Structure formats: structure tokens, C-alpha cells
Amino acid sequence: MSVEIRRGTVRFVSRAAGRETKHSFAFGEHYDPERLSFGPVVCHDDHHLRGGTGFEAHRHTDLEIVTYVVSGALEHSHTVDDTAAEPVRVEAGSLALLSAGAGVSHSEVAVSGAGPVRFVQVWLRPDEPGATPSYAVHPDATSLEVPGVAGARLDVVRLGTGEATTLPEAARVHAFVSRGALVRSSLAEPVQAGDAFLFVDEPAHEVTAAVPTELLVWSFRS
């Protein structure tokens, strides 16, 4: 059993023209042997993009990639075996799941005129390699189960000032404050946007919002 409070201020930061990314786990040139993964999670990135900028076509294999758009809108395009799918506009509040499987090339670009774009993206190792690639968007979704990772679930929890929620009991829980703040509790001093709880084999814990707050809560069976 363990509880870790990972503060947003200790995240790794990468910058390029028109974008900034905050990495919760070791990524690219940012290496930390103590922050390589959390269960199946190998990447938890908080991206901020200027309109018209983003990530041009690049390739992935054997990853389950979950994207939550916090604000603005993304245009997502992908290609499998030289066959390009129609671009998809992913609005704020939407969840998207890209199963890279045997291989997919994709791009993510901030829609011009939709304001600055912020999205949180999580990469997970699938249970089995070489699956058939797929992509799906779930507008205004508040939960998502990842078929390629047994027992993996994401819940989007929105709280008003003073409202409480119970973080689930599971083998592992990663609860990220995407917006707002939580009040001081027995778990921690006040928890701000960008901070996260990492629980291993913990019981359920109740948290309370200090202001209007949004949580991205991952739970894992193992």
C-alpha cells in the first residue's frame, strides 16, 4: 500500500514552436529511472498548443493512446497501411482512443480559430502486441474503458466548490487534477491543477474540491 503526491511543478517540460508539453513520466531526453511508468502507463503528457500548431504525422506501434481535450479543439488524422482516414475534429470535453496495434501514423494539430488548445494524453502498454489499429472519439464522455488493457478505466470527474468524490479502490489509481484544486486533507496539503495522486493497493479515498475542479481518474486492476 502506498500514496504518492506528484506535484505538477516537478514535471519535465519540453518546448517547441507554438507548443509546450509537461511530462509526468520520463520521456525522450527527460530520463528519470524513478519515473518510467505506473502500471501500464508509460506516458502522461499535458500539451498546450497555439492554433495551427501541434504534432505532424508520426508513427506508433503497440500503444493504447487516450486523449482528453481540456480546451479548444484538435484535428486528428491517421493512416494505416497507406490508407488515410478522414480527419476528425476532437472538441473540448471529448475522449479519443487510438489503438496503434501493428502500426499507425497520426497527427494532432490545434484547430485554428478555436483558441489555445490543451489536451492530456496517456500512453498505455497493451496486453497483446500486433492488434488491428483503430480510432474512436467519444464526445462529452465521462468514462472510458480501454479494451486493449484489461481492467483499465478512465473517469472524468467534475466537481463544484465544496463537492466531494470518492477515488476508487483498485490495484493502482492515478488521479490527475486537470483544472481547479482540492482542499487540504489527511492525504496532502492542498492539491492544485497539474498535481496527481498515485495510489498502489490503497482503499477508496474521498477528496473535496476547493473550487470548481476537474479530475482525470485512472484505475487499473493490476
DSSP string, 172-183: EEEEEEEESEE-
Q: Is the pLDDT of residue 206 over 90?
A: yes
CA distance 174 to 4: 10
Written as nine digits, the cell of 96 is 479519443
Q: Are the folds of 12-141 and 154-220 the same?
A: yes
Q: Is the pLDDT of residue 219 over 90?
A: yes
Q: Is the pLDDT of residue 199 over 90?
A: yes
Closest by CA to 61, choosing from 112, 26, 105, is 105
Model pLDDT for residues 106-153, shown as the tens digit of each residue:
999 999 888 899 999 999 999 999 999 999 999 989 999 999 999 999
Q: Is the pLDDT of residue 16 over 90?
A: yes
Query: Does CATH number 2.60.120.10 belong to domain 154-220?
Result: yes
β-strands 134-138, 54-60: how paired?
Answer: unpaired
CA distance 178 to 78: 26
Contact by Cβ (8 Å): 40, 148: no
122: which strand partners?
A: 44, 66
CA 220 from centroid of its chain's CA atoms: 14
- Using pLDDT thresholds of 50, 70 and 90, give the confidence band for residue 188: confident
Q: Is the pLDDT of residue 1 over 90?
A: no
Model pLDDT for residues 46-94, shown as the tens digit of each residue:
999 999 999 999 999 999 999 999 999 999 999 999 888 899 999 999 9
Model pLDDT for residues 87-115, shown as the tens digit of each residue:
999 999 999 999 999 999 999 999 988 88
- What are the residue boundaries of the structural domains of the chain, listed by start? 12-141, 154-220
* pLDDT computed for residue 64 by the predictor: 98
CA distance 95 to 141: 6
- Using pLDDT thresholds of 50, 70 and 90, give the confidence band for residue 186: confident
In words, the CATH class of domain 12-141 is mainly beta
Q: Is the pLDDT of residue 175 over 90?
A: yes
Closest by CA to 11, choosing from 186, 203, 199, 176, is 176
| Torsion angle defined by CA atoms of residues 58, 61, 62 and 64, in that order, rounded to the nearest 10 degrees | 20
Tell me the residue type at 19.
Answer: R
